[in-house]
């Protein structure tokens, strides 16, 4: 049984388990009529979050002090939607997500809405996550009559991505930024605008996504295609070399040379797709 330490509202309480550690328990009516020191059990519909977690935004037990219960409920509702799509997820992202929602609401109320230059890239790169994140629109309107824009939704999508992948929100942002940078460099070097709806673009985008992830984790590809691609498609190989160098500088880590050949292959596909439509 849990012993209630603090009732946040009708739907959330902070309680202490037999291990003397604090937990956030969320569920409809879980705090209704409850008092401090009262003992409660976990119902099937309740969700329990450990307050011992350390997140990108700090310790969960510190974050919860400055986040309103309604924002915790909103984040919990978003994660419920994410589980319907992705299955089991890391729900510890609740705390930084709730913290972000708290500040997003304050920005909106103060007419200080942000502009995220990577929103379009996030929407394409993390398509399913963005679709789930859009549920915050109706949730926030129903609870507070506040309209949230696509830029804020983009950031929430990154939190959802962090909950389903072993990546921090900052890493997901780096990946989105690197993909955008790569696509811009390809367009600049080839002199051709890339059709973002093309299959070749999606393949290139996903390749860059995992290329960046490999660079950040130190993972290496086994097959080396550099010699073949440099001879067969010299222009694409030269462009790929430049891009790998630029992205390496941006990420502050050197990309493995083997990545050049694979990137060149995707660049060549994109260029051929564009030419075939001319």
Say if residue 126 is exposed, middle or buried (CB neighbours under 10 Å; 0-12, 13-18, 19+). buried
CATH no. for 170-276: 1.10.1790.10
Q: What percent of the chain has pLDDT over 90?
A: 52
58 phi, psi to nearest 5 deg? 115, -170
Q: Mean per-residue pLDDT for 209-218?
A: 83
Cα torsion through 261, 267, 268, 270, rounded to 10: 150
Does the structural domain 53-165 have CATH classification 1.10.1790.10? Answer: yes
Contact status, residue 265 vs residue 229, Cβ threshold 8 Å: yes
Q: Does residue 278 surpass a pLDDT of 50?
A: no
- Residue 121's pLDDT band, with cuts at 50, 70 and 90, is confident
Average pLDDT over residues 48-64: 88
Distance, CA of 36 to CA of 39 (rounded, Å): 9
Least confident of 49-63, 91-105, 166-180: 166-180
Alpha-carbon distance 156 to 141, whole Å?
Answer: 16
Q: What is the mean pLDDT of the chain?
A: 88
Taken as a whole, the chain contains a residue count of: 278
Q: For the segment 106-117, what is each residue's pLDDT rounded down to a tens digit?
A: 999 998 877 788
Secondary structure (3-state) at 43: coil
pTM score, whole prediction: 0.81
Residue spans of the domains in the chain: they are 1-52, 53-165, 170-276
Tell me whether the CATH fold assigned to 1-52 matches the one assigned to 170-276.
Answer: no
Alpha helices in 116-198 (DSSP H): 119-125, 127-133, 135-144, 150-164, 169-190
pLDDT band at residue 187, thresholds of 50, 70 and 90?
confident
Q: Looking at residue 146, what is its pLDDT?
A: 92
CATH of domain 1-52: 2.30.24.10
- Alpha carbons 228 and 212: distance in angstroms, whole number: 23
- Of the pLDDT bands very low, low, confident and very high (cuts 50, 70, 90), residue 274 is low
Average pLDDT on 106-130 reads 87
Distance CA 95, CA 113 (A): 21
Closest to 43 in 3D by CA, of 63, 56, 55, 25:
25
Report which DSSP code applies to 237.
Answer: H
Count other Cβ atoms within 10 Å, centred on residue 268: 20
The yes-or-no verdict on residue 84 having pLDDT over 80 is yes
- Give the tens place of pLDDT for each residue, 168-179: 888 888 888 888
Tens digits of per-residue pLDDT, 225-269? 999 999 999 988 998 998 888 888 877 888 899 999 999 998 888
The region that residue 90 occupies, defined by phi over 0 for left and psi between -120 and 50 for alpha, beta otherwise, is: beta
Asked whether the predicted pLDDT for residue 126 surpasses 70, the reply is: yes
């Amino acid at each position: 049984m849990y012993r209630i330490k603090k009732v946040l509202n009708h739907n959330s309480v902070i309680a202490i388990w037999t291990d003397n550690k604090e937990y956030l328990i969320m569920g409809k009516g879980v705090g209704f009529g409850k008092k401090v020191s009262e003992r409660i059990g976990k119902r099937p519909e309740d969700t329990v979050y450990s307050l011992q977690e350390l997140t990108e935004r700090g310790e969960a037990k510190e974050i919860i002090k400055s986040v309103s219960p309604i924002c915790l409920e909103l984040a919990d509702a978003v994660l419920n939607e994410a589980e319907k799509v992705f299955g089991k997820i890391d729900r510890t992202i609740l705390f930084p997500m709730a913290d972000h929602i708290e500040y997003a609401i304050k920005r909106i109320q103060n007419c200080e809405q942000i502009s995220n230059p990577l929103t379009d890239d996030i929407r394409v790169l993390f398509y399913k996550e963005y679709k789930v994140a859009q549920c915050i629109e109706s949730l926030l309107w129903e609870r507070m009559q506040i309209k949230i824009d696509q830029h804020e939704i983009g950031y929430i999508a990154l939190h959802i991505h962090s909950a389903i992948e072993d990546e921090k929100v900052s890493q997901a942002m780096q990946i989105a930024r690197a993909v955008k940078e790569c696509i811009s460099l390809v367009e600049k070097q080839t002199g051709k605008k890339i059709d973002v709806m093309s299959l070749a673009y999606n393949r290139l985008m996903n390749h860059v996504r995992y290329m960046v992830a490999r660079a950040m984790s130190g993972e290496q590809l086994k097959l080396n295609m550099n010699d073949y691609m440099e001879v067969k498609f010299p222009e694409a190989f030269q462009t790929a070399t430049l891009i790998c160098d630029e992205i390496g500088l941006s990420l502050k880590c050197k990309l493995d040379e083997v990545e050049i050949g694979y990137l060149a292959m995707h660049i060549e596909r994109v260029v051929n797709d564009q030419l075939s439509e001319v």
